[in-house]
Structure 1
């Protein structure tokens, strides 16, 4: 008997929306942590399914984020119901929080946690929190009377604290524990025929090869003459140049859509931390995930 998915909630997400989603055979679910390559993978799926770099609508409409409270549930479900092509849906929910169906394909994308954390820091600076609260009905953050908001810590300080802070992984999915929870769950399912793990570093190193691997796993045939244009459309440069239609911002919650595509590079996080701080990070993750996952996750 299928296990009831765990319900993940945050001020702007609720994974219980998946229980109301009428699935179709062949649906694709893209399950990632924040800033792990979600939009990149959505774009790849769009290019493979539609087989054209000229998308008929903004990417966030073609591949909506089902759990996101910013967009009303009936709007998201109606949009998905109206689609006639093979559907590919975004979520930041781990696989234990969505219904697992044998006729649905699940892609989980991994990234070095420190690099993802650096991107998350910059993304948080780019979000219009007042606009998000307006759309979700969330209350203003509580502060003591007359107390000024605390200044944002520097990136280096924030990153060092992120590697050591204590957090419930199911409550704080963007914490280090939450990241490793998400990836460990997917890693435990990697032998299942309808689950595919993709590494951000592999996309960066060999985009053509990874797109072909994903296409083969999805059983999508692409004519050889189409590949150069499709791969080019999935590059960081092309996606950034088309940020107005590619950035995941259907409700105007970003200060800058262009800033969403900040650099697309890896490795900068290791230059921010001291040797002692990096050693503390390594000790921490060794207690959060199996060794074979860590070797795959941290490889050059």
Structure 2
């Protein structure tokens, strides 16, 4: 369950129970595939194959579904009705960490053309978003004959695990994700927020709205554990979400990508994802696909690419959904008190390699 204590800022810090199990030992070779490990010789993280001979393997062999995530945005019990198909891709990301971007990349790799025949949200629906009838979502997925790519914001410990399904996680510097969510809320129409609050009330949920002061909101947000049993804004916790995947990064059907790497080398990351998903792409198509997935092109095509599955008219400005996608939005806004608290919690909750990767990606 973990424990609680008060930081000098006044924030209540919820600490998940510490994992005392030994770490898995990984190879230090770059492979560009779906397996990852730390390369200490280079002083940074790299993607690499799993070391098999003599590997210390004390972690759980398979992910387990430990928690129910039931909040304003998600009801993970809806996954009970999910029937997997071979090759399904579950895109599991914290909000504002590149979800729609990753959905678009998957669409481009699967269909290998642009523009798409339909809106992006008509292909890849948010399965555990409680605002849309579950039966309607399942009927759409059941009718699809192409490789399915399914959206969720639920961490790995809240979804069912199957060996024939690929789980794709995309991370982002937590500070950037927090500020991007602030822009996201400002762009959401009040009517949409009312619908979400009404849904939460119907499910007897107690909702906590962010503090109006951005620094106080950040302190409260970063202090929450993200674990449902421990309370505290479990619907949006980058650290906990990343931990659920990091533990199982050695599995062949777990793919971990990073927002910063995608910004720095989009085509390279798309090629890497295609290889991990066993998708072949003709060499001549790559420039076209990478251009279609660029932030600028997605902003230009916001009418068909901005999420619309929860409500057809939820944004003040669809193009503003693709706001900036920049790194360092928090600089000059967060004070030393907030940054000290952030560094403290990162150190206490994450192993060093994960903390470094979460901020900088594989190439950072």
Equivalent pair of 2:72/2:235 in contact (CA under 8 Å):
no
Shift of the 168–94 alpha-carbon distance from structure 1 to 2, 3 Å rule, reads closer
Structure 1 residue 258: Cα displacement? 1.5
Which whole-Å CA distance do the structure 2 matches of 1:137 and 1:295 have between them? 37
1:169 correspondence with 2:227: yes
Give the whole-Å Cα distance in 2 for the aligned partners of 1:110 and 1:138: 27
CA distance in 2, matches of 1:180, 1:151: 18
**Offset of 1:295 from its aligned partner?**
1.4
Please, which moves more after superposition, 188-197 or 50-59?
50-59
- Distance across 2 between alignment mates of 1:168 and 1:51: 37
Query: SS of the residue aligned with 2:349?
Result: coil
Note closer, same or farther for the CA distance 1:168–1:112 as it changes in structure 2 (3 Å cut).
closer
| Cα distance in 2, alignment partners of residues 2 and 40 from structure 1 | 25
CA offset at residue 269 of structure 1?
Answer: 1.2
**Deviation of 1:157 (Å):** 5.0
Pairing 1:100-119 to 2, within 5 Å after superposition:
100-119=161-180
1:297 matched to 2:297? The reply is: no
Is the 1:48–1:220 contact (alpha carbons within 8 Å) kept by the matching residues of 2? yes
Q: CA deviation at 1:168?
A: 4.9
Do the aligned partners of 2:69 and 2:235 also contact (CA within 8 Å) in 1?
A: no
Q: Which runs of 5+ in 2 are unaligned?
A: 1-61, 203-208
Question: Is 1:205 equivalent to 2:231 in the alignment?
Answer: no
TM-score by length of 2: 0.74
Please give the root-mean-square deviation of Cα atoms over the aligned residues, in Å: 2.3
Structure 1 residue aligned with 2:276: 217
Contact 1:173–1:179 at 8 Å: present in 2 too? no
- Give distance in 1, aligned partners of 2:256 and 2:290: 20
Residue matched to 2:218: 159
Structure 1 CA distance for aligned equivalents of residues 89 and 359 of structure 2: 26
Greater fraction of residues in helix: 1
Give yes or no for contact 2:131–2:199 (8 Å, CA) kept in 1. no
Aligned with 1:262 (options 305, 323, 327): 323
SS in 2 for 1:279: helix
Shift of the 160–271 alpha-carbon distance from structure 1 to 2, 3 Å rule, reads farther
Q: Which residue of 1 aligns with 2:248?
A: 189
Distance 2:326 2:144 in 1: 34
Which residue matches 2:56?
none
CA distance 1:105–1:235, change in 2 (3 Å): same
Q: Cα–Cα, structure 1 residues 226 and 195, in superposed 2: closer, same or farther, change >3 Å?
A: same
Alignment partner, residue 95 of structure 2:
34
Equivalence for 2:301:
242
Judge conservation of contact 1:160–1:273 (CA < 8 Å) in 2.
no
Residue number in structure 1 paired with 2:46: none
> More deviation in 228-237 or 277-286?
277-286
Residue 224 of structure 1 and its aligned partner are, at CA, apart by 0.7
Stretches of structure 1 lacking an aligned partner (at least 5 in a row)? 141-149
Distance 1:198 1:151, change over 3 A: closer
Whether the 8 Å contact between 1:117 and 1:159 is mirrored in structure 2 is yes
Please state how far the C-alpha of 1:6 moved relative to its aligned partner.
2.4
Q: SS state of the match for residue 84, structure 2?
A: coil
Partner of 2:249: helix, strand, or coil?
A: coil
Q: How far did residue 4 of structure 1 move?
A: 4.6
Task: Report the 3-state secondary structure (helix = DSSP H, G, I; strand = E; otherwise coil) of the residue aligned with 2:90.
Answer: strand
Give the whole-Å Cα distance in 2 for the aligned partners of 1:230 and 1:151. Answer: 38
Residue aligned with 2:92, SS: strand
Partner of 2:42: none
Equivalent residues in 2 for 1:87-126 (5 A)? 87-126=148-187
Distance 1:270 1:67, change over 3 A: same
TM-score, normalization by structure 1: 0.89
Residues 162, 208 of structure 1: alpha-carbon distance in 2 compared, 3 angstrom cutoff = same
